[in-house]
Chains A and B, each alone.
Chain A
């Protein structure tokens, strides 16, 4: 790599600082949710290790020019499909949802990798060399949809409806940035909505149950409905200032299942109140805003990478928090930077690393 001062100048320290604050918030929330649980009490330490690893990966990724990803895009995409197939294959003897692949002492969630791989392959396809012409027709949607289907179905089979939806949102975000008109995307949504009733047939029983329980929490008071009700009580009881770190009675008495993963936001909502929740939302928004700057690159490939990463990131934040406060059905998506989970953290940092990379090189064409 030829040293170029502009690389340093365009390195966005703000993004790194925001990541540090968000990561620390997550570690604190995990500590609060698990420190009284003998079984889980070392999870926050593990999260610290993952956080360190994530930072390192992020910085490592800024070292090479992101355009190499374009050359490798189909290889990365193929690898992600193989890993997803691996999950299905090795998950066969197990029961129900299987999202992890075990590599030595680590378990790894290929669907997190697959999201990035999908973004990379789609960005590669949608850049001018991939698309012969610049005026986009409806038929140009065919290949992007074709690229979506394999990872979408494989993730759906795990079954992980939440992550599968993230793929769709990423697709739409990138198509929009690639230059498709809103009306063209609306037609796509229309077609999707038309076949939605058919999708109901493919949902697992527990997934249907979740949607029904969301619509009527009283249906299953001891199960999913219980979690949603408790989550609302937990967050609502935080009021304006919260009950204070480690003093959330709901959190500490463990009224909620999955407090350190899916329902982590409720811990923050209870202990830091409305103010804390708003600050967190603001930090997320600020991070997205800073990342958008990277999208102003003249390089279409870089621009699409950023668009895809931000779409998935924002959607996950919205769905996770929305689930905790009863705005959307329970889908089991992690809250980026905050929820416990090595793969999620690592690939969030990878995504941010790509954004930094694009931003550093945005004037270099």
Chain B
């Protein structure tokens, strides 16, 4: 080796000598001391779990909190010889698996002081019975543990998410932050996204135990640390609007999103069918979990952000913006709709087979004439529609602050070419009316309408308003602008008039309320797999003097999976929600007669609202069980 190499190796050698020296000190010189430590002064930590942070709605109503749960455990060492007797007696008042417990005792025979959990979340009556006759149950201890509690049951389930014992794949990633087997961790929704805030810091007591794991009498406490509750998270959700949305959606599969267009705050977001997050807090049997996860109605899917659907005519306002911004059409220009149009030997129809006759822009929007949009879509070109779809936020996750969002599909000639296909004129037709390859989430549609409301400024939608940290610090979330593609004032003017016409005299009349000016677009999207999907997207401005004081403009999207006609089934739902937001009277409006049966909103009786809030052991109320959810 050359001199350089020798010097380098010498350096490494010296570092190793340093290690060896330190090992000599620890293991030989201080070996007896540390052996003594390990034999007589072992330290054991009794963990005390920190309660998770509370989650509030925007007016500080509690959405998630914690309750005390009683855990019954056995400390084998304290039971001593009487362990079999104790367990048999316990089995008579508590369903426990003797076989399983005995194998657990065997597995940790070297640590007899370590409590073995027998029953989580035991009922108070059993706890009091145990405490009355504690002499008969040596070794049985009752601990109080904080347990996640969702007081409103299913409400906001998809937003809040749920917590569960940490799984192996997460443990690998979060070990760094001190997670251990048996710890609880947020799995979806806010519980997941804001886990690091909600979690808190576990406390505990460090006590000296002897070689068998027994503490001294009295126990020698080396250190103690109080658990610290996680941070308080305040959502942008308005509980009353959320309640209205969930009630209006009923048990149908679908989603409703209500946003404040001025800052991207989500005021309500519901997805059906839903679930009760309480069922996870004390563990859910694996079999039951599998059944629910594979359920054909997909109760755990947050349809507002994870469901991809064709928007149908609700997309027409994007096509309209593309055509108006590119100035390929004048709003007063007339096109003739004969109910169908032939291109390349194929016939493309308007939903109105009889035809709309001569239509201008406003009437085409109001009556949702497909032929008109075939024309202006072709004139603007599929590239322009793609471009505006992307600008409005389609084809990319909207960026909401909970995980799992889907990005959807915005097609175009380039997109299709990459997939080995040729773009036909018919593809442009389909694209213009929100059919074909286009797939979006309800949240994307809501956010796009917000962007139109703002004249082209797209905000990032968010659910958390602020976080209150333990030290009193407030972390506020300010609106975040994703992009600003200023629309021409003429575009805004003509499109707004057209959207208003939809509600006052077009397909969306069933959404109109006197307390606010509603501007919207209906959509009835063909669904190759089944019934048409019903859509309605709108924004509303409160009318001074009629609307409740202090109300703000909102954007509402109603989506009902397989719900049929947008105008007939989505609009009344939107109307119900808008009425709840703006009306001064507390009573719900009656639905227009003739369709009330079809929209499926159940009139809520006291008994029903109770059954919605109670939960059985499986977390699904019996009513949902019978009709499949």
User: Could you tell me which A residues sit within 8 Å of B by CB distance?
Assistant: 36-37, 39, 93-100, 107, 173, 176-177, 206, 221-223, 226, 229-230, 232-240, 249-250, 252-253, 255, 257-258, 261, 269, 273-274, 277-278, 281, 284-285, 288-289, 292-293, 295-296, 307, 310, 314, 318, 321-322, 325-327, 332
Contacts and interface: CB of A to CB of B under 8 A. Distances in A.
Nearest to A318: B15
Contacts of B213: 253
A288 B9 contact: yes
Contacts of A321: 19
Interface in B161-180: 168-169, 171-178, 180
A284 B38 CA distance: 28
A261 B176 CA distance: 11
B436 interface: no
B23 A253 contact: no
Contact of A325 (B13, B22, B171, B174): B22
Given A223-B178, A226-B43, A252-B110, 6 more contacts: A100-B172, A239-B31, A281-B20, A296-B2, A318-B15, A321-B19
Given A235-B27, A236-B27, A269-B27, A255 B43 contact: yes
A106 to B, nearest CB: 12
Contacts of B169: 107
Residue among B23, B37, B110, B193 with max Cβ neighbours from chain A (10 Å) = B23
Contacts of B35: 236-237, 239
Nearest to A240: B28
Contact of A295 (B5, B30, B175, B196): B5
25 contacts: A39-B168, A95-B195, A96-B177, A100-B172, A107-B169, A173-B8, A176-B8, A177-B8, A221-B223, A235-B26, A236-B26, A236-B27, A236-B35, A237-B37, A237-B38, A239-B28, A239-B35, A252-B110, A274-B23, A274-B31, A285-B12, A296-B2, A318-B16, A322-B18, A326-B22
A99 B211 CA distance: 38
B603 interface: no
A293 B35 CA distance: 41
A238 B23 CA distance: 10
A107 B172 CA distance: 10
B18 A327 contact: yes
A274 B37 contact: no
Contacts of B4: 176-177
A353 to B, nearest CB: 21
B184 interface: no
Contacts of B43: 226, 229-230, 255
Closest 10 CB pairs of A and B: A236-B34, A237-B38, A239-B31, A221-B223, A274-B27, A236-B26, A97-B176, A95-B196, A237-B34, A237-B35
Contacts of B241: none
A54 to B, nearest CB: 19
Contact of B19 (A257, A288, A318): A318
Contact of A238 (B22, B27, B195): B27
Interface in B446-505: none
Given A285-B12, A314-B15, A278 B174 contact: no
Given A98-B173, A253-B213, A240 B19 contact: no
Contacts of B349: none
Nearest to B2: A296
Contacts of A285: 12-13, 16
Contact of A249 (B28, B211, B225): B211
Contact of B30 (A96, A236, A261, A293): A236
Interface in B254-289: none
A235 B28 CA distance: 10
A273 B173 contact: no
Contacts of A277: 20, 23, 27
Contacts of A107: 169, 172
Contacts of B562: none
Contacts of B211: 249
Contacts of A281: 16, 19-20, 23
Contact of A226 (B13, B31, B177, B206): B206
Nearest to A278: B20
Given A235-B27, A274-B24, A325-B22, A226 B45 contact: yes
Contacts of B39: 237, 249
Contacts of A274: 23-24, 27-28, 31
B222 interface: yes
Nearest to B178: A223
Contacts of B196: 95-96
B384 to A, nearest CB: 30
Given A223-B178, A237-B38, A284-B16, A269 B23 contact: yes
A97 B170 CA distance: 12
Contacts of B38: 233-234, 237, 249-250
Nearest to B196: A95
B179 to A, nearest CB: 10
B26 A232 contact: yes
Interface in B216-250: 222-223, 225
B33 interface: yes
A352 B175 CA distance: 29
A292 B19 contact: no
Contacts of A293: 1
Contact of A289 (B9, B27, B45): B9
A327 B18 CA distance: 9
Given A240-B27, A249-B211, A253-B110, A93 B403 contact: yes
A199 to B, nearest CB: 20
B211 to A, nearest CB: 7
Contacts of A253: 42, 110-111, 213
A98 B30 CA distance: 39
B23 A235 contact: yes
B173 A94 contact: yes
Contacts of B604: none
Contacts of B5: 292, 295-296
A365 B203 CA distance: 64
A100 B172 CA distance: 9
B626 interface: no
Nearest to B29: A236
B37 A296 contact: no
A277 B1 CA distance: 28
A295 B203 CA distance: 52
B8 A236 contact: no
B181 interface: yes
Contacts of A249: 38-39, 42, 211
Given A93-B193, A96-B196, A292-B1, A232 B23 contact: no
Contacts of B24: 274
A99 B8 CA distance: 31
Contacts of B111: 253
A237 B171 CA distance: 30
A204 to B, nearest CB: 10
B32 interface: yes
Contacts of B107: 36
Contacts of A223: 178
Nearest to A327: B22
Residue among B27, B45, B175 with max Cβ neighbours from chain A (10 Å) = B27
A27 B223 CA distance: 35
Nearest to B36: A237
B146 interface: no
B213 to A, nearest CB: 7
Contacts of A235: 23, 26-27, 34
A279 B181 CA distance: 34
B173 A100 contact: yes
A325 B195 CA distance: 33
Residue among A36, A237, A289 with max Cβ neighbours from chain B (10 Å) = A237
Interface string B172-208: 1111111011000000000001011000000110100
